[in-house]
Amino acid sequence: MPLDHYLTLGRSGLRVSPLTLGAMGFGEDPPGAGSSVAESERILAAYLDRGGNFIDTANFYTNGHSEKILGDWFAANPGRRDRTVLASKFFFNMHPGDPNGGGAGRSSIRAQLHETLRRLRTDYLDLYWLHNWDRSTPVEETMRALDDLVRDGTVRYLGFSNTPAWFTAQAHTTALLRGWTPLVALQVEYSLLARTVEHELAPFAADQGLALVPWSPLRNGFLSGKYRRGAAVADITRTAHVGLPSEADYDVIETVAAVAAELGTTSAAVSLAWLRSRPGTVVPIVGARRLAHLTDNLAALEVVLSPSQLARLDAVSAPEPAYPSTLHSGMRTMLQFGGTTVDGEPSEVYPPLLASAVRY
C-alpha cells in the first residue's frame, strides 16, 4: 500500500496517509536532541513527495523548534500546506513561572494555539490534540473552549493523547450531548511491547468510531532490529536514556525478527505492519532522525502478515489481563445465560445451582 492510499480518520471527513510522520525529532534545541534543520527538511520533503499528508508535532517538541521548522518549510514551498494534514498538541507549559502557561483551561488553550500557529506560519490546524490530562480543569471548560476553536475556523478536528479511558469517554460524551465538537482520534502508546491500551482505550475507540494514532510503535527502538539478546547495543547514548529490553521483551523481539526473516524484511517493518493490522483505523506515527530511518519505516506498507504470523505475534506479546476483564468471560458463560446458548455462545450452569435454582 503506498502512502497515497488514504484512510478516513475516525468518524470524520479527514483523509490521511496510512503512516503519520512524527516531527518530535525535528530540531536541535537542546543540541543533540534531534535532527538538523537540513535533515528535517529532507525527511519532510521525502514523505510528502511519496504522497504522505499527515504530519504530527507538538508545541514543546525541541522547545518549539519542531513547529518552526515545519512552518518555515511550508512558507518556502507555497501550495503544500493546504494539501497537508497538520496536527499539533497543547498542554505543556512553555513559560516557567506562569501557572496559566500550560494545561487545558480556556485561556491557556487559546494562548498555546496562538503561539503554535505563529511558529507554524499558518492560520489553522487540521487536528489539535490535548497532550495529557489536566486534573485541575473541568472537562466542560476544555471541550467548550475547543469547540469554540473549531467554530471560529482555527482548528478543524480534535483528539486526545495519553488520557485515562474514563476521562476520555466523559469528554467525548459531554461534547456529543451538548452539541459540541467530539473527538475523532486518540494518540496512544501502542506497539507489540506496549499493548495495555487494548484493555480500555482501544475498545472505547472502536465503539465510538475513533481512530488510533500510536506513538512509539517501535517502543524506544526495541523493535527496530538493533536489539538482540546477549548482544551489545551500538547506541549507548540512547540506551542510557531508555534502558534495555526485559527478558519478556526479548521473547517478542526474537519472534518479530523470525517473522521478518521469513518475509525478507526488517523487524521495524513487521512491527508497523502488525499495528496496521489491528481492528479499526490505526495510523502509526513513524519518527525519523535520518532520511534512511524514514525509508526503512515506509517499507512496512509493503508487508503483508499471514494469519499464522499474526497469531504468533499476538500470542507472544499478549498483555496480562486486568481487572475487571479478568472476571468478565467466566461470569458471562457461567452466570449470565444459565446453561443456554446465546448468539452462538454456549454457557454452563454454575455448579452449586441445581436444575431449578429458584427455591425461595
Q: What is the rounded distance in angstroms from the CA atom of residue 58 to the CA atom of residue 62?
A: 9
Indicate which residue of 47, 61, 128, 157 is catalytic. 61
Helix, strand and coil percent figures for the chain, each rounded to 5? 45, 15, 45
Q: What is the rounded distance in angstroms from the CA atom of residue 225 to the CA atom of residue 219?
A: 11
Closest by CA position to 76, among listed 121, 40, 115: 121
Q: Which residues contact 35 (CB under 8 A, 6 or more apart)?
A: 25, 26, 27, 28, 43, 288, 289, 290
227 tagged catalytic: no
User: Cell for 357?
Assistant: 435454582
Amino acid present at 156: R
User: Cell for 213?
Assistant: 494514532
Q: Tell me how far the alpha carbon of residue 207 is from its chain's centroid.
A: 17
Q: What is the rounded distance in angstroms from the CA atom of residue 171 to the CA atom of residue 175?
A: 6
As annotated, the active-site residues are 61
